[in-house]
Amino acid sequence: MKDKQDGLFKKGEAFVERFCRLKGNMLFYFKNKEVTNADPLGVLIIERCTVELDLDEEHLHGFMLVYEGEENPIHFATNTEEARDQWIQTLHIASYECLKMQLQSLREQLVSKTGHDPLDRMPQQDISSESAADLSGEEPCVEICIAAKDLPNDRTGQPPNPFVMITTLTPPQQAWTLNSHTEIIERSNAPQFLKTIGFGTNIKLSTQVKFTVYHVNERMTNTMSQLGYALFDMKNLLSRPDKKLQLTLTSPDSTPAGQIQIVAWLHDETLLSEQPSRDSVLSCNERLQNRGLGELKLIFCNPIKKTFRFDTNKARMQLFVQEVMSEFKWNYTLPLQILKLFIEEERERINMLQDLGELPAVLEKEQQAWIMMVAVSASLYTEAVDQLVFRAIPGEATAG
């Protein structure tokens, strides 16, 4: 391997003996054969790179790792041609991209033979990202807490990594709409999800809610397999005195796949009336928008909220935690005002320079140069103002 030479007076790179060990897509290299007792000298990630033959005659049985965007490849050489070819073949299939292609090929073969996709991938949804409901900043009319039990193990006999996707359908809609999702619970047949699921003011008693429980096979690729699903409508849940439901999950094979438990909290009593008046809806919206932020709403806006509920030692009491991230209202207002002051100062300088009257030729040339320089500064400040106004929160740029 071409590496930096040891020694005070040895500079540059040369081929030195290194002992390499490939683990997944990470190539560790060591100074000697005692790889179990020594720390590696370094590690190379076999991603976004190609393995190529080194055609330089000086490098016998050589090959290179060429990374995207890197001008200098990493050179290797082996003692025999067979060892070189084996290393090239092994490194070719070590990357995640190659593994992904192999998985996709096997998946297509299974679909063509069985007509069923063994791995369900949620379309256009990243399980690590926030849902639209989380980012809306809208206070929910109804919150629910989810738990499950008796979930089946995966194909290896291990407990699953459950994750629940919540979709809604309100007649006369024909398509399910993604509402939110839970966090992922690692290795559990009886998960209790801490994140609560909120439903906004557009929810109705006739709204149907669908819980689809997945086993997350691989976080990096969002690969998951469906364990089961359950359906209910809001009226069935909210009409119960204790606001609790326990439903059986139905697997894709139409067999029982465990149970899901639901507990609801109703923040808007007008939801229970079939035809709420317009005034009650408006007052509800105003009350929900002001709930939770308190005095923070005076200087912050665009809140992103998450709610968590934790069990306590007391059976009927739970710990309520609300996580709020919001934007400072004057993020743009203060810089805009400062920039406008700078622009006014530059304009005053231009007026002062122009009011100097007739000057000798040498001074007049300096005057024009100064006027040009100040005008350029004012133009740059004006461009910065335009950018801030374009990016500013609606209504904030004109505040103050």
Q: Is 224 helix (H, G, I), strand (E, B) or coil?
A: strand
Quick one: 147 and 56 in the same domain?
no
Cβ 122 vs Cβ 165: under 8 Å: yes
My answer on whether 192 and 258 are in the same domain is yes
What confidence score (pLDDT) does residue 119 get?
62
The answer to whether residues 159 and 46 belong to one domain is no
> 69 with 147, same domain?
no
- Examine the domain organization and report whether 51 and 139 are in the same domain: no
Residue 342 lies in a domain: yes
Whether omega for the bond prior to residue 172 falls within 30 degrees of 0, making it cis, is: yes
DSSP code per residue over 139-196: PPSEEEEEEEESPPP-TTSPPP-EEEEEEEE-TT--S-EEEEE-PPPSS-SS-B--B-
**Does residue 127 lie in a domain region?**
no
Residue 161 lies in a domain: yes
Q: Are residues 76 and 173 in the same domain?
A: no
Residue 193 is predicted with a pLDDT of: 93
Q: Pull the structure tokens for residue 109.
A: 């073969």
User: Which of 282, 303, 326 delimits the end of a domain?
Assistant: 326
Q: Which of 179, 142, 88, 394 is nearest to 266 (CA)?
A: 142
The reply to whether 12 falls in a domain is yes
Residue 116 lies in a domain: no
**Which two tokens mark 226?**
């469906």
Query: Can you tell me whether residue 400 is helix, strand or coil?
Result: coil
Q: Pick the closest to residue 250 from 145, 114, 152, 157 (CA basis).
A: 152
Three-class secondary structure of residue 125 per DSSP: coil
Q: Is residue 361 part of a domain?
A: yes
Among 41, 73, 96, residue at a domain's last position: 96
If asked whether residues 268 and 385 sit together in one domain, one would say: no
Tell whether 152 and 238 lie within a shared domain. yes
Residue 122 lies in a domain: no
Tens digits of pLDDT across the chain (400 residues): 877 655 444 456 777 888 888 988 899 888 877 766 778 888 999 988 888 888 776 667 888 899 988 888 888 888 888 999 899 889 988 888 888 888 888 888 888 887 766 665 554 445 555 554 554 556 788 889 999 999 999 988 999 999 999 999 998 888 889 988 999 999 999 999 988 898 887 888 899 999 999 999 888 777 889 999 999 999 999 999 989 999 999 998 889 999 999 999 887 777 766 555 444 444 444 444 445 556 777 888 777 777 787 777 776 777 878 788 888 888 888 899 999 999 999 999 999 998 888 888 888 899 899 999 999 999 999 999 998 888 775 555 444 4
CA distances from 91 to 94, 239, 397 (A): 5, 61, 54
Q: What is the pLDDT of residue 279?
A: 45
Say if residue 297 is in the same domain as residue 221: yes
Same domain, 287 and 183: yes
- Looking at the structure, do residues 308 and 351 belong to the same domain, yes or no? no
Number of independent structural domains in the chain: 3
Tell me whether residue 396 is in a domain.
no
Q: Which residues pair with 201 in a beta bridge?
A: none
- Looking up residue 49, the CATH number of its domain turns out to be 2.30.29.30
Give Cα 248 distance to the centre of its chain.
31
Query: pTM of this prediction?
Result: 0.53
**Residue where a domain terminates, one of 326, 343, 371:** 326
Instruction: Tokens for 284, please give them.
Output: 């509800």
Count CB neighbours of 236 within 10 A: 14
Residue 214 sits in the same domain as residue 277: yes
Domain CATH number, residue 188:
2.60.40.150
Task: Give residue 350's domain range.
Answer: 333-391
Beta-carbon contacts of 88 under 8 Å, excluding residues fewer than 6 positions away, are 51, 53, 63
